[in-house]
Structure 1
Amino acid sequence: MLGEMVFRSEDVAAADRFDYWVELFGRTHAPMELRSEYADDFWASQRVLDLGAVTVWSGTFQPLVFRRTPKLIRQSDPETYHLSLVVSGTGGGVWRHRETEYKPHDLLISSSSLPNDVHSTGDPAVVGMEVPKALLPLPRDMADRAIGTPASTQEGVGALLAQFVTRLTADTAPYQPSDGPRLGAVLTDLVAALFAHLLEAGDCLPPETHQRTLTLRIKGFVQEHLHDPQLTPASIAAAHHISTSYLHRLFEDEDATVAAWIRRLRLEAARRDLTDPALHATPVHAIAARWGFLRATDFSRAYRTAYGTTPTDHRHQTLRSRE
């Protein structure tokens, strides 16, 4: 599991909760002036994940006003970009050059080096990302122009970034502490791609960042289209306007070829369905077809190669063991 720290306001005496939250938020993000009409009996929770130089956190809290003042910036500036994925609640913010409102599914971009005044309403829940400015391969003055810009997570790079952090914060069990810096590097590339997209400055990104972002976008596309029996390297390349040979080059550093990776994902999905008691009446061939295996013999052969048993035998053994 990744290194993490959890805070719950109920673990602190009511009289101390708000001050403790202010201190904690200052360590996670940057020192802030916080105000809330609920300060006398404040509730909040926060879970902070350590991704090396990058930090990701999920939090829920009562409505607040956040102020990053020039005085606080002079006293302490970690020089980070902060991105908030708004899960619930609404609000608005004022920066030196921009005033904006935000709503669920927006990504709000801020900077520890610029004064701001942000307020939240409703039942705020966010996923926050703290990325050192030095890690982004974009000119600093150009990147700063994205501050205060709400980015949609309904499509494109914003959706890819939101999916990544949402899945990461939902379940850290599959990851080891050593995975943290690698996941942080992936997150940094996605944030850089988002900035470049917002600024229409794609040419400012180094080629390796373009490639990693494209590879992640392709992986997301494959996950969404596993059911399609026509999903092949050629169709994937065509959907992303690249050649099949370039697609294979993107996967040279992966642990499997594109076709082998698709087959593995399909087998894993079929295996989950076969061992799901709720689907015990669904024929094996129907489950195979659901995951892109149109020929039962091909599915059975691939399944035996991967798991050392036939789909039917595996299903029976698993369901009997649960009786």
Structure 2
Amino acid sequence: MSEEWVSADSQGAGAGALVSLSSGELPRGDRFDWFVELVRENVAPFSLGSVHAHGFEAHVAGVDLGSAQLTHLVFEPLHAARTPRHIRRGDPETYQLALIGGSPMITRQHDNEAEISTGSLVFFDTSHPLDTLVPDERGQGRVTLLRIPRDALPLPAGRVDRVLARRLAPDGVTGQVLCQYLTTVRDRAADLGTGERQRLGTIAVDLAAAFLAEHSDARHLQSPESYRQVLRTRIDCYIESNLGSADLTVAHLAAHHHISLRSLHRLFDDGRETVAASIRRRRLERCRADLADPRLAGYPIAALAARWGFSAPAEFSRAFRTAFGLSPRAFRHRTASSDAPHVAPPAK
């Protein structure tokens, strides 16, 4: 585009949780200043500039997770600079871990510079000057931002400084779990109660710490409790993804995650249920959902049970009756709908 860059400068800093806001609700001439103010109040003070400043299109949504805040920003291409002057006038003293979902972003901070592609993460510190650019004038910035107070991240600042403004690829298990976790919390934020938000915030910080520790060679500095929480989350995700596998046993879980059986049992030693009980409960819940689905009414009960890891029909029937108070056949009969079409179940 040929038009000149139009800039606005944001000063000061604030706190607060966003719900869901869109620039489309405002007059075109007020939209960019509105976005500048939102960034100032909910991220940090920046100087922002954009060739799209007139009629700027943006959407911001977020949720307060207690120990962290999660914000999703969708915006037109822009340049954002955080200078020493901004830091002196207002520093929220937070780390910012951003999952990039739109146009690539060019970042510079603490002598590091990188182009961050879609699907990668980048890490910032509000206490250092920062320069960020979304250069594709026909594209769109999409950022899911986890904001963590500096004193809440259990890693030394000198270590995490190594990964500032670097492309962090979520190639490993921890990175993949972290990205899935952030997008799930982002997409389901409206369904979260206060207590659940607090718990999810703690887990988000632990996952972020584990991910950053891997990239900064600081894994040995991660607190035992943080490591335990991250490992438990990884194992829970693995269980959910492999419920239909006959190989999903306690021994397999321990071997797959390179821990002893004793360590695995200790991870689940929180008074709720054992590892085996957790696997069985989740499998039974999947079976109950299938049996209640009218589309699967013509599918054999034994086959549905086998689909979720129950190879012995008699054992499945006893477990189902114990959990839900009815036999699988009686439960299906009570919930069946004769009007729904009968189709084969989806693949595992």
Fold equivalence (TM over 0.5): yes
Q: 1:64 to 1:194 in 2, by over 3 A?
A: same
Deviation at 1:42, TM superposition (A): 1.2
Q: 1:217 to 1:13 in 2, by over 3 A?
A: same
In 1, Cα distance between equivalents of 2:177 and 2:32? 34
SS of structure 2 residue aligned to 1:150 = coil
* Correspondence for 2:236: 219
In 2, Cα distance between equivalents of 1:40 and 1:311? 62
Aligned partner of 1:109 among 117, 120, 123: 123
Deviation at 1:109, TM superposition (A): 0.7
* Correspondence for 1:255: 272
* Correspondence for 1:241: 258
Aligned partner of 1:269 among 286, 289, 303: 286
Q: 1:32 to 1:322 in 2, by over 3 A?
A: farther
Q: 1:282 to 1:158 in 2, by over 3 A?
A: same
Contact 1:91/1:103, CA 8 A, preserved across alignment: yes
AA aligned to 1:57 is: T
Between stretches 294-303 and 100-109, larger displacement belongs to 294-303
Higher strand share: 1
Deviation at 1:231, TM superposition (A): 0.9
If the length of structure 1 is used for normalisation, what is the TM-score?
0.93
Q: 1:311 to 1:80 in 2, by over 3 A?
A: same
AA aligned to 1:5 is: V
In 2, Cα distance between equivalents of 1:95 and 1:105? 20
Q: 1:282 to 1:67 in 2, by over 3 A?
A: farther
Deviation at 1:241, TM superposition (A): 1.4
The one-character-per-residue Cα deviations of 1:129-166 (angstroms, maximum 9, x if unpaired) are 00011011221122222111221124322111111111
SS of structure 2 residue aligned to 1:168 = helix
* Correspondence for 2:14: none
2:217 matches 1:195: no
Contact 1:107/1:158, CA 8 A, preserved across alignment: no
Deviation at 1:4, TM superposition (A): 5.4
AA aligned to 1:280 is: A
**Which structure 2 residues correspond to residues 138-149 of structure 1 after superposition, within 5 A?**
138-149=155-166
Aligned partner of 2:309 among 280, 292, 303: 292
AA aligned to 2:165 is: G
In 2, Cα distance between equivalents of 1:59 and 1:198? 25
AA aligned to 1:78 is: P
SS of structure 2 residue aligned to 1:241 = coil
Identity of aligned residues (%): 37
Report how many residues are paired: 321
Q: 1:13 to 1:322 in 2, by over 3 A?
A: farther
Contact 1:153/1:162, CA 8 A, preserved across alignment: yes
* Structure 1 gap ranges (5+): none
Aligned partner of 1:124 among 138, 141, 151: 141
If the length of structure 2 is used for normalisation, what is the TM-score?
0.87
2:187 matches 1:170: yes
* Correspondence for 1:10: 24
2:33 matches 1:19: yes
* Structure 2 gap ranges (5+): 1-16, 341-348
In 2, Cα distance between equivalents of 1:233 and 1:189? 24
Deviation at 1:174, TM superposition (A): 4.9
* Correspondence for 2:173: 156
In 2, Cα distance between equivalents of 1:91 and 1:22? 18
2:110 matches 1:96: yes
* Correspondence for 2:73: 59
In 1, Cα distance between equivalents of 2:106 and 2:66? 30
Contact 2:110/2:161, CA 8 A, preserved across alignment: no
Runs of at least 4 residues off by over 6 Å:
none
Q: 1:320 to 1:279 in 2, by over 3 A?
A: closer
AA aligned to 1:96 is: H
In 2, Cα distance between equivalents of 1:113 and 1:77? 6
The alignment yields a C-alpha RMSD, in angstroms, of 1.8
The one-character-per-residue Cα deviations of 1:14-54 (angstroms, maximum 9, x if unpaired) are 22111111111122210111112111111111111011131
Structure index of larger Rg:
2
Q: 1:286 to 1:138 in 2, by over 3 A?
A: same
In 1, Cα distance between equivalents of 2:216 and 2:262? 30
In 2, Cα distance between equivalents of 1:192 and 1:151? 13
